[in-house]
């Protein structure tokens, strides 16, 4: 009898310890896939650490030109959240019911800038000087890179496009444009202000007027067929908190909307 009592007492104590010990949040076993425009790489790499520490949810990040990411999603690439550098790609995915329109937010705004290499820092002061120089200019491919489309629209507005098309080197995304200029492989480039804050060996010469192109807006939304909708919703909320806003602003973005 005494032995049975001791066994029961021991079992009770073990159960009590198990009950009182901290239980891990079930979200710790979750993983979500976030596909984001290349210009967001620095911001989201920093936000990733904060989000994973705060929630236990693992992020797998995929950065590329928005058009490239759109195609990947259309072809079935894993995606729980998509953040585009323009409404065009998001709207196309919403139209195909691949992105949830109800979860969509216009998260950020950006500006376009002209950058030049070390060799041309005293020779190019603005976009108008591009036509008068024997140089190479890089922009993102307008077919798949929103920054490239904004750049083309601006050059058309300034009546420069026809005269400098033969000088243009197209890139797969804004980071490649910046790398070309930084390495001196081209003499000038048009990129986002958010990327320009990381320049090391080239220079900003002009910030483009917002009247020259469509507004640069970054929409974010949850994938319609996400298997982790709760976790994806937490991420969309998290990137609108004060800590995330500071990170975006530090990296040259303008925050467009605060969560209510």
What kind and span of H or E run contains 48? helix 41-55
What kind and span of H or E run contains 70? helix 66-74
Ligand-binding site membership of 147 (annotated): yes
Ligand-binding site membership of 231 (annotated): no
Please identify which residue in the block is written with the tokens 């507005």.
157
Give 223-229 contacts, CB < 8 A, sequence gap 24+: 223/73, 223/79, 223/80, 223/81, 223/82, 223/98, 223/99, 223/100, 224/97, 224/98, 224/99, 224/100, 225/98, 226/32, 226/79, 226/80, 226/81, 226/100, 227/80, 228/30, 228/31, 228/32, 228/80
Ligand-binding site membership of 66 (annotated): yes
Q: What is the CA radius of gyration of the chain?
A: 24
What kind and span of H or E run contains 83? strand 81-83
Task: Measure CA 60 to chain center.
Answer: 13
Ligand-binding site membership of 39 (annotated): yes
Q: How far apart are CA 105 and CA 172, in angstroms?
A: 26
Ligand-binding site membership of 7 (annotated): no
The three-point CA angle 251-69-42 to 5° equals 20
Q: How far apart are CA 195 and CA 146, in angstroms?
A: 14
Residue numbers belonging to the annotated binding site for molybdate? 39, 66, 147, 174, 192
Residue numbers belonging to the annotated binding site? 39, 66, 147, 174, 192
């Amino acid at each position: 009898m005494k032995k049975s009592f001791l066994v029961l007492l021991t079992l009770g104590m073990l159960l009590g310890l198990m009950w009182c010990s901290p239980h891990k949040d079930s979200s710790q076993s979750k993983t979500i896939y976030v596909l984001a425009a290349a210009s967001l790489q620095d911001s989201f790499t920093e936000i990733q650490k904060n989000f994973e520490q705060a929630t236990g949810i693992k992020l797998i990040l995929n950065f590329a030109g928005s058009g490239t990411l759109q195609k990947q999603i259309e072809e079935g690439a894993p995606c729980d959240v998509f953040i585009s550098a323009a409404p065009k790609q998001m709207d196309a995915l919403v139209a195909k019911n691949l992105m949830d329109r109800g979860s969509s937010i216009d998260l950020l705004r950006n500006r376009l800038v002209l950058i030049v290499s070390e060799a041309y820092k005293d020779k190019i002061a603005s976009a108008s000087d591009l036509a008068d120089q024997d140089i190479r200019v890089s922009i993102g491919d307008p077919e798949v890179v929103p920054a490239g489309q904004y750049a083309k629209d601006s050059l058309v507005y300034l009546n420069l496009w026809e005269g400098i098309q033969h000088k243009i080197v197209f890139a797969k995304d804004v980071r490649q444009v910046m790398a070309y200029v930084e390495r001196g492989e081209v003499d000038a480039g048009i990129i986002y202000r958010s990327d320009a804050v990381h320049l090391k060996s080239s220079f900003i010469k002009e910030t483009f007027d917002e009247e020259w192109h469509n507004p640069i807006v970054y929409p974010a939304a949850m994938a319609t067929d996400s298997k982790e909708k709760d976790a994806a919703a937490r991420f969309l909320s998290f990137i609108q908190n004060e800590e995330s806003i500071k990170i975006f602003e530090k990296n040259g973005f303008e925050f467009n909307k605060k969560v209510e």
